[in-house]
Structure 1
Amino acid sequence: MMPWHYQGDPLAEAVAARLRERRASPGGAVATVRQLADEGDVDCQRLWADMETVPDWVDFGLMRQGGAMAQCHFPHLILGLTYGCMPLTFAHPDAAAIFVRTGRMQANISRRLNESASLFFGVCDSDALAPGKAMWEACLQVRLVHALVRMKCLADGWDQLGHGMPVSQLATAAGPAFFGAHLLGCMRRLGARISDEEAAGYCLIWRYTTRLLGVPLELLGETQRQQDNLDTWFMSQFFAPDDTAKTIMASLLEGLCSLPPTSRLPRPLQVALFRRMLGDEMAEGFGIPVSHGGEQALWMMRPMLAGLSRLRRVPGTSTGLRHLGQRILSRLATEGLVSPAAAGTAN
């Protein structure tokens, strides 16, 4: 699989270069791609066709069950993503180096968190991932942003031979492992009760989302069992935090403790959340200390989260919880999707 570590996304890179030539407006990248495709631009037509091709294993009905589960468990989802999944995005030295080059984590952590939230929370509405829908367009935009970051790193002298392609296909293919299987584990550690079918639906959301981000089918499982095997391999390969990753982790913790809404949570509790969501081994790798006071606070908070999960089994409450979760996650998902114009900058 290692050759994919040196592979980018030629379709997206060709279109990203075209958008840069056209100086497309930040919010109109998707519309510009559609317009250029209609006008006969071959690169845009190829990218659009690749995005519109839905793999045979996609099951929107199953994904709706997974998305509904996540919406009902919105507190578990938010905590799991923030404290359990966000650190994994810079857990490999190459990924950490990209964070440093772009400056997005250190310079403006609120923007970085919002960029992530736009995708992470938005895909819970799995119907919006259908071709032409809102989250489908968001995935196209993120795919173009990845291409621009890759192009900028290479232009700035990135050591491709030593570190592989920045934002490579292999690194992007870790998405289902980080935001599917690992996230479900985080949510369950907070007391979420998730059925096997709901878990399969949520994992499928991330398998399809990763395909929309440009990852070839060769790096994705055709079945959940195949994907589980791939996820295990990805987790073993992409968790290797270095000193740079530890520095970014410290910046993330400081930002969460100083910026709303997470600044309302006591620092010891946030430290305990990182350790619980990541597990002791990963937490040690990031240099996250043990906070006995935070562990006690988390021990007191978990029954409330577990109770919320049980509440959705009470007749008549599941729909209300889901609608509340939809509103909250929808608001979080619309606060800060990064634009192609800002890709690779600290703004």
Structure 2
Amino acid sequence: MSIPTDYRSGLAAATPIDPVMAERYVRHMTIGDPAADALVAEFQRHPAAQQREWMRRGIEEGPAALADAPDAVRAFFADIEQVPDWFDPKAAGLGCRAFHRHSEMFLGAFVGAVLIEGFSTRISKSFSITGRLVDQGVRRLKQNNLHLVEIFMPGGLDRRGEGWRLSVRIRLIHARVRHLLSNSDEWDLEAWGTPLSSAHIAYATAAFSGLLLQRAAMLGVALTAEERASFMMIWRYSGWLMGVDPELLFADQEEALRIHRIGTLCEPPPDLESILLANGLINSAPIVAGIADPKARKALTKRIYTISRALIGDALADRLRYPKSHRLSGMGALALLRWTNRMERLLYGLVPALGRRRRAGQFQRMLEVSFHDPAGISYRMPEKLHAEKDAPL
């Protein structure tokens, strides 16, 4: 096995704990997404307008609309038409309802913890080099929120659902960025492995699912076992659509947390890019929320830092150079959120009309912090390595 140099010490640390997963994770650091990579390689032989048209037809209409497309393009879209036998659309309803019942807490845990923890890995290199999170941070954060929202809409992962379309689009954008980085002098293949590797896509999907449930629970979100299983199935299918390799595609929360735990051990410590991305995300959050007043924005940023530190722990927060804060203030903030959630559950159980009004308000705010393009989903592929030289995606 070819081991990227930045991962050798992490592999040595993780192997005594879980040798199978450690070997699997590091091996996938040198693997991309063969099917999507083949499609992107074929795309490069054709004009950009033709690429967009094939991508649009493939996502919106399916392989039957691609009679004039190359074999690699038709094969890719034919493969993703096959719904895995473990995905049950009816059972997905439980997870959808659970997400929307607690959408504010899930989005808070997503932005304040899970995204931060994801970008503490070497995946930060890809976003830092391209600038697609640094220069376009607010837009990208809203796009991340939108994907999370859409896969948990009822029917969002149906073949014509927006969650299905966005998941496939993300996969193809990743493949295109992987192609650009692999052909750039700025990417150190020997040290970092493959850009946007199979391991990193699996790690992100495991974090956005199993770890998100764990972090949301720290904020007071209480789900039944059936709701958690449904939540994980929804993310598992979205991960499958995004190209997560079967070797690293979890079946339940326990497996997702295992991938995340061993992947974290294999990853090198956060570097400057991770520090910039993590702090940039937190400072972007008040802007995404539409807060214009500088004092209010500063106060919310401080609160997010406090809660985020309590969620991710002092060790990682210090490595990411968070502002110092008293541990008790973070624990107190979490305790207050948990108490508030418990009281709201009791109140809304007694007065269901208030619960319906609360959920309607949450839904509206959720839409406000997500990016919606009036023109619909864009099928334009990145053309330049650096975001500042390219049109927004």
Give the shorter-chain TM-score range.
Answer: 0.7 to 0.9
Q: Which residue of 2 aligns with 1:122?
A: 150
Given candidates 65, 81, 84, the residue that maps to 2:113 is: 84
Supply the distance in 2 between the matched residues of 1:51 and 1:193 (Cα, whole angstroms): 33
Supply the distance in 1 between the matched residues of 2:51 and 2:116 (Cα, whole angstroms): 28
Decide whether the 8 Å contact of 1:181 with 1:203 is kept in 2.
yes
Decide whether the 8 Å contact of 1:11 with 1:47 is kept in 2.
yes
Q: For 1:208-249, what per-residue CA distance to the aligned partner results, in whole angstroms no more than 9, with x for missing partners?
A: 111110112222134555445334323433473123211222
Moved over 6 A (4+): none
Q: For 1:30-66, what per-residue CA distance to the aligned partner results, in whole angstroms no more than 9, with x for missing partners?
A: 4243476233531122111221122222222332211
Matches within 5 A, 1:230-309: 230-238=259-267, 240-257=269-286, 260-261=289-290, 264=296, 266=299, 267-292=301-326, 295=330, 300-309=336-345
Q: Which residue of 2 aligns with 1:16?
A: 40
Q: Which residue of 1 aligns with 2:165?
A: 137
Decide whether the 8 Å contact of 1:98 with 1:166 is kept in 2.
yes
**Quick check: 139-148 or 230-239, which moved more?**
230-239
Given candidates 200, 218, 229, the residue that maps to 1:171 is: 200
Matches within 5 A, 1:13-162: 13-20=37-44, 21-24=46-49, 30-33=55-58, 34=62, 37-39=66-68, 41-92=70-121, 94-125=122-153, 127-157=155-185, 158-162=187-191
Structure 2 residue identity aligned to 1:308:
E
Supply the distance in 1 between the matched residues of 2:40 and 2:69 (Cα, whole angstroms): 16
Decide whether the 8 Å contact of 1:65 with 1:198 is kept in 2.
yes
Decide whether aligned partners of structure 1 residues 26 and 258 sit closer, same or farther in structure 2, where only a CA change above 3 A counts. Answer: farther
Decide whether aligned partners of structure 1 residues 315 and 16 sit closer, same or farther in structure 2, where only a CA change above 3 A counts. Answer: farther
Supply the distance in 2 between the matched residues of 1:53 and 1:44 (Cα, whole angstroms): 15
Decide whether aligned partners of structure 1 residues 165 and 338 sit closer, same or farther in structure 2, where only a CA change above 3 A counts. Answer: farther
Supply the distance in 1 between the matched residues of 2:88 and 2:139 (Cα, whole angstroms): 33
Instruction: Give the superposition deviation at 1:102.
Output: 0.8
Supply the distance in 1 between the matched residues of 2:203 and 2:277 (Cα, whole angstroms): 20
Q: Which residue of 2 aligns with 1:3?
A: 27
Structure 2 residue identity aligned to 1:220:
L
The unaligned stretches of length 5 or more in structure 1 are none
Matches within 5 A, 1:320-339: 321-330=358-367, 332-335=369-372
Instruction: Give the superposition deviation at 1:178.
Output: 0.8
Decide whether aligned partners of structure 1 residues 44 and 339 sit closer, same or farther in structure 2, where only a CA change above 3 A counts. Answer: closer
Structure 2 residue identity aligned to 1:233:
I
Q: Which residue of 1 aligns with 2:7?
A: none
The unaligned stretches of length 5 or more in structure 2 are 1-23
Decide whether aligned partners of structure 1 residues 38 and 311 sit closer, same or farther in structure 2, where only a CA change above 3 A counts. Answer: farther
Decide whether the 8 Å contact of 1:71 with 1:326 is kept in 2.
yes
Decide whether the 8 Å contact of 2:114 with 2:208 is kept in 1.
yes
Decide whether the 8 Å contact of 2:30 with 2:193 is kept in 1.
yes
Q: How many residue pairs get matched?
A: 346
Is 1:211 the counterpart of 2:251? The answer is no
Structure 1 residue identity aligned to 2:312:
L
Instruction: Give the superposition deviation at 1:339.
Output: 5.3
Structure 1 residue identity aligned to 2:225:
D
Structure 2 residue identity aligned to 1:282:
L
Decide whether the 8 Å contact of 2:151 with 2:234 is kept in 1.
yes
Partner-residue secondary structure (3-state), 1:24 = helix
Partner-residue secondary structure (3-state), 1:39 = coil
- After TM superposition, the score normalised by the length of structure 1 is 0.86
Structure 2 residue identity aligned to 1:303:
W
Higher helix fraction (1 or 2):
1
Decide whether the 8 Å contact of 1:175 with 1:210 is kept in 2.
no
Structure 2 residue identity aligned to 1:12:
A
Supply the distance in 1 between the matched residues of 2:108 and 2:329 (Cα, whole angstroms): 15
Decide whether aligned partners of structure 1 residues 315 and 44 sit closer, same or farther in structure 2, where only a CA change above 3 A counts. Answer: farther
Decide whether the 8 Å contact of 2:42 with 2:70 is kept in 1.
no
- After TM superposition, the score normalised by the length of structure 2 is 0.77
Supply the distance in 1 between the matched residues of 2:52 and 2:371 (Cα, whole angstroms): 13
Decide whether aligned partners of structure 1 residues 207 and 334 sit closer, same or farther in structure 2, where only a CA change above 3 A counts. Answer: same
